[in-house]
């Protein structure tokens, strides 16, 4: 499967939230194209075609703007408040030969040893920033958690990256930990621990000051 | 009362209105699966606690439950058979203000079908329509 998705973009002559909302109603997705020290372009692309391409794992697009075709990388996506629909996309101009920094999701593989001893796997970070060639951007990075025991942590530096991919995130970044689950508090315990009423900030000082004034008066 | 702040700046607050949509806290950040609120509402401390108990009871010490909302807002009420006036009533309970899109509960460390069943039980304790959401691996 070719990684480059071809899309036609229309220039957005009028920008702003109202114009963008009108474009979305017409089935267009507002986007911005930037990079390579050229002017940023406000464009719109077909929302359905783009969403389909994204679903199939495309990260690179051949974007036809006006009479020219540019290779662009999907840099950022914005979703609506429910996380259902795309509302905007950032596209960065790239050359097929250049190295880019991209964020790639990690995929946990295997069952951790610690889970057999009552532990649970907690995923602290679900993506890694890596540097790689534009044409070799992986869909995901497989992280094996087989050897993780209770109390262990798996760091970004321990992940075996595919050839040609360099880690940009800190190697000490904790990706996964395995720990025992603490006993949950019962409703009664929580009720006993909770104070009857919260402390009001500055109320004690105000009361002391009022008492002092009353004494003086 | 299950949850309430330890310290507050003011003992009572005005009612206000829940307007707009959640611009933050609207994605699964800690666990792998979450429960997203679809309507603006107040969720009381009791309802949050009921949701927590329902989820932890169902999971039986498997996985981890994250609560993403906290009841910061005091709601006052007047005692029964009291004449109107004589000032605002005393705080009765605490609520969390939620907007559409807010993720209120999250679960991690369990399979999807288990998380779905646990969050369905939580959703029954909520006073609003909710939906099950997964962590989105954004770019």
pLDDT given for residue A20 in this prediction: 93
**Distance separating alpha carbons of residues B98 and B96, to the nearest angstrom:** 6
Nearest to A71 by CA among A164, A137, A134: A134
Q: What is the pTM of this model?
A: 0.85
Which of A74, A75, A199 lies nearest to residue B6, judging by beta carbons?
Answer: A199
The residue of A124, A195, A198 whose CB has the most chain B CBs within 10 angstroms, and thus the best one to mutate to test that interface, is A198
Nearest to A162 by CA among A135, A145, A142, A134: A142
Nearest CA in chain B to A184: B56
pLDDT given for residue A118 in this prediction: 81
Which of B4, B38, B137 lies nearest to residue A194, judging by beta carbons?
Answer: B4
Name the segment(s) of chain A with CATH classification 2.40.240.10: 4-94
Which of B32, B61, B137 lies nearest to residue A105, judging by beta carbons?
Answer: B137
Give residue-wise pLDDT tens across range A121-178.
888 888 899 999 988 888 889 999 888 888 889 999 999 898 889 999 999 999 999 8
pLDDT given for residue B15 in this prediction: 95
What contacts 24+ positions apart, CB below 8 Å, involve A161-165? A161/A130, A162/A136, A162/A138, A164/A132, A164/A133, A164/A136, A165/A130, A165/A131, A165/A132, A165/A136, A165/A138, A165/A141
Task: Per residue of chain B (139 residues), give pLDDT as tens.
Answer: 579 999 999 999 999 999 999 999 999 999 999 999 999 999 999 999 999 999 999 998 788 899 999 999 999 999 999 999 999 999 999 999 999 999 999 998 889 999 999 999 999 999 999 999 999 876 6
**Distance separating alpha carbons of residues B12 and A125, to the nearest angstrom:** 39
User: Hey, CA dihedral for A138, A141, A142, A147, is it positive or negative?
Assistant: positive
Name the segment(s) of chain A with CATH classification 2.170.120.20: 102-180
**Distance separating alpha carbons of residues B77 and B73, to the nearest angstrom:** 13
**Distance separating alpha carbons of residues A113 and A147, to the nearest angstrom:** 6
pLDDT given for residue A59 in this prediction: 87
Tokens of B11: 């003992």
**Distance separating alpha carbons of residues B25 and B34, to the nearest angstrom:** 11
pLDDT given for residue B60 in this prediction: 86
pLDDT given for residue A190 in this prediction: 63
pLDDT given for residue B5 in this prediction: 93
Distance from A10 to chain B by nearest Cα, in Å? Answer: 24
* Homologous superfamily in CATH for domain A102-180: Ribosomal protein L25, C-terminal domain (2.170.120.20)
Given an 8 Å threshold on Cβ–Cβ distance, is A200 in contact with B10?
Answer: yes
Q: Compute CA B132 distance to the chain's CA centroid, rounded to the nearest angstrom.
A: 15
pLDDT given for residue A67 in this prediction: 86
pLDDT below 70 — which residues of chain A? Answer: 1-3, 183-188, 190-195
ipTM of the complex model? 0.86
Choose which CATH entry (3.50.50.60, 3.40.1710.10, 2.40.240.10, 2.30.130.10) describes domain A4-94: 2.40.240.10
């Amino acid at each position: 499967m070719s990684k480059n998705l071809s899309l036609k973009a229309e220039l957005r002559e009028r920008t702003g939230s109202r114009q963008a909302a009108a474009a979305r109603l017409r089935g267009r997705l507002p986007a911005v194209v930037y990079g390579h020290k050229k002017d940023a372009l406000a464009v719109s692309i077909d929302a359905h075609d783009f969403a389909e391409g994204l679903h199939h794992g495309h990260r690179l697009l051949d974007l036809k703007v006006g009479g020219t075709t540019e290779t662009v990388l999907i840099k950022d996506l914005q979703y609506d408040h429910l996380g259902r629909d795309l509302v905007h996309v950032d596209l960065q101009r790239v050359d097929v030969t250049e190295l880019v920094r991209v964020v790639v999701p990690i995929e946990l593989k295997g069952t951790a040893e610690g889970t057999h001893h009552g532990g649970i796997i907690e995923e602290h970070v679900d993506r890694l920033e890596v540097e790689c060639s534009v044409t070799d951007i992986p869909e995901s990075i497989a992280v094996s958690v087989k050897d993780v025991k209770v109390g262990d942590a798996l760091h970004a530096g321990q992940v075996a990256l595919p050839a040609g991919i360099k880690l940009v995130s800190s190697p000490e970044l904790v990706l996964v930990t395995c720990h025992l689950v603490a006993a949950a508090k019962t409703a009664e315990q929580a009720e006993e621990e909770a104070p009857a009423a919260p402390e009001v900030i500055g109320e004690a000082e105000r009361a002391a000051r009022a008492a002092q004034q009353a004494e003086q008066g | 009362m299950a949850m309430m702040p330890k310290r507050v700046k003011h003992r009572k607050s005005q009612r206000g209105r829940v307007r707009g949509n959640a611009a933050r806290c609207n994605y699964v950040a800690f666990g792998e699966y979450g429960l997203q609120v679809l309507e603006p509402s107040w969720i009381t401390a009791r309802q949050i606690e009921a949701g927590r108990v329902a989820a932890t009871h169902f999971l039986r010490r498997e996985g981890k439950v994250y609560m993403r909302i906290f009841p910061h807002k005091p709601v006052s009420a007047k005692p029964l058979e009291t004449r109107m006036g004589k000032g605002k009533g005393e705080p009765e309970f605490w609520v969390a203000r939620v907007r559409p899109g807010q993720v209120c509960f999250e679960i991690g460390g369990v399979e999807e079908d288990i998380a779905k069943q646990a969050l369905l039980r939580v959703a029954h304790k909520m006073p609003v329509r909710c939906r099950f959401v997964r962590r989105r691996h954004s770019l």
